[in-house]
Structure formats: C-alpha cells, structure tokens
Amino acid sequence: MAVLHNRISQAELKQRLFEEKEHRTTISFYHYFPIEDPRVFRDELYKNLDTIKVFGRIYVAHEGINAQLSVPDSHFDALKSYLYSIKPLEGIRLNVAVDDDGKSFWVLKIKVRDKIVADGITDPSFDMRNRGKYVNAEEFNRLTSDPDTIVVDMRNHYEYEVGHFENAIEVPSDTFREQLPMAADMLKEARDKNIIMYCTGGIRCEKASAYMLHQGFKNVFHLEGGIINYANQVKEKGLELKFKGKNFVFDNRLGERITEEIIARCHQCGKPADTHVNCANEACHLLFIQCEECKNSFDGCCTKECQEVIHLPLEEQKIVRKGIDKGRNIFNKSRARLRPRLADLNKKLP
C-alpha cells in the first residue's frame, strides 16, 4: 500500500529544501467542480504529485480543489500535463508567483475538507454556478477608472494592511466567513452599482461574487486569478499597475512584492515596514509585522515576555508551550486574546 504522508521531521524536510540545487517555481490554482469522493481523489493526486517532487498545500472537497504548490523547474511541464489530464482541470489557469525564491513549501500536504474555502454559508439554495463576471487586468483598470465603481478587498485585515488596490474598501475581519455578511451589509446601499471583488488568487472573490448575487446585488464582478494573475498580466501587457505594496501569501514567503512602496508599519515601533513574521516563541507564534531593528532588539519575538521564553532551556520551553492553544493568533483583533496567554507564560517562567 502506498505511503501517502511523510515520516520525516519538518525540520529535516525544510533543511533538504534549502540544500536543493534546482530552482522551484511556486504556482497556485483552484477550481470549483463536483468531486464525488474527495478521499479517493486526494490519494490519487498525492501519489502523482509526490512522484514529480511537488511540495505544497492542497485542499480537496466535494466542491472542488484549492492548491498552492512548488515544483522543480524541470518537472513543471510534467505537472502541467498531469493536471490537464484530469478532465475538470483541463486548461486550468496556473498562477505563477510574482516574487518567488522557490522556497515556499518543503513538504506535500493534501487535506480533505468540508469546503475548499470556509465560508459559513448554510443556505442550501446558494449556487456557485451563479457567480459574478470575470474581469482581466485591462478590464479591471478600465472599470475602476469609473468613480462609481466600488472595489472590495475580500482578504483578511492583515493581508490588506501590507498591500491593496487604489481606493479599495477593506472589510475588516480575521476570517472569510465573517467577511461575507459584513460585505453585503456594508454595500447594501450600492446594490445597483458596479462592484468588483478581488483576493489573492481568485478563490475567495469568486465565491464572494456568487454570495453577493445571492444577496440580491446586480452588477458584480471578480478579478480573474486575483492579484497574482493581475500583476503578471500588467507586466506582460505593459498596463498601468493599480496595486500598491506587497501581496500577502500563505506560504513560507508570507508575501510577494508587487511595488516598492511600503504602506504598512512595524507593529512594535511604528516605522514603515511590511514584513510579516511569526513570533519566534513557539508558545505564541503571533503573526505580525516587524522591522529589522525590532527583529534584532526582540530576537524575532513580539514581546519581551516571549523573548525571555526563547532563551530558556529547551525542556523548559516545552513546559511553557504545553496546553497553550494558539488558535488564530494574529496581530490586531487577535492581540487582545494574546494577553491571557502571556499571563500563563509568566506563571510558567522560572
């Protein structure tokens, strides 16, 4: 029976990645289509992708597939051929990363989920086939030149913070499931206006466009392939670039630079910065923005308390980590929830 998971430690797998000589290309794709048995589909996918040394994170559900991958350059064509051999994925657009060091993933994980993007939608009459109209980069630029067009960012607040389109509306939230009803409520007075929704690679804004139509909105569009495809099209066609800053991505890079503008600030000192990091204290692991000076001052930690923890002997650090649920530990809304955990850390400090 084929082994469908890794038995090697994450640290060793990551070390192997950084020792690789061949460059990897990071790509992403998604597609909403019915999958009768997600587990069978998942196992077949794993065996074929593992053979060509693909790394990445893939979610499979009855509603389709959502994938972020890295593949050795010499196997790119093999990956493409295999994906296109799957009938519903034939000819699917593969979003190639804009700013890619080839170190985005170091292991292949394919998980079966209830949905490929958690949306909180329970209405059985909701239908993804009734979705908004695609717009490419050229159409996006033309439509957004109209002052009556409303541009809506369907990403989380920490993604919007480091980069977004000009005049885009933020729907301030930690999760997509929270955003959908919030967006509909925020835009309830604009039901007849042109509304363009966008996200990182297209999966969230496509579902959001269907949700808005389901809520009675009329002229709903979504950016095909999201920010990644937009940036590539702008470069290929010499179009005006309307995105500012960095595009947050959910892999080891935590961002790809679209423009040189830094529109965010360090969460510790307030200086211009847009580099997301996870707190070096594994008992915290807070996702936040940190400049180089604060990185050096705090040893990559978010607080002095966490800095104390990482200098404890390893066995004592394990004791500190025991029983702590980090949850969705993200700077801003989640930071208030960090305080009780820091209190717990302090109790455990010697």
Helix axis angle, 314-321 to 335-348, nearest 10°: 130
DSSP string, 26-76: EEEEEEE---S-HHHHHHHHHHHHHHTT-EEEEEEETTEEEEEEEEEGGGH
Name the DSSP letter for residue 168.
Answer: P
| 264: nearest Cα among 249, 246, 251 | 246
Q: Which of 199, 279, 291, 301 is catalytic?
A: 199
Beta strand pairing call for 55-61 and 108-112: parallel
Classified as helix, coil or strand, 249 is coil
Give residues with Cβ within 8 angstroms of 92, minimum separation 6.
Answer: 29, 31, 83, 84
Give residues with Cβ within 8 angstroms of 224, minimum separation 6.
Answer: 93, 134, 135, 136, 202
* Rg, Å, the chain Cα set: 21
Active site residue 199: yes
| 272: nearest Cα among 281, 260, 255 | 260
User: Burial of 234 by CB count in 10 Å (0-12 exposed, 13-18 middle, 19+ buried)?
Assistant: buried
Beta strand pairing call for 243-247 and 256-257: antiparallel
For residue 210, report the phi and psi dihedrals to the nearest 5 degrees. Answer: -65, -40
Q: Which two tokens stand for residue 127?
A: 């239908």
Cα torsion at 286, 279, 14, 75 (round to 10°)? 50
* CB atoms near residue 5 (< 10 Å): 10
Instruction: Give dist(CA 334, CA 327) in Å, integer.
Output: 9
Residues annotated as catalytic (active site), given as ranges: 199
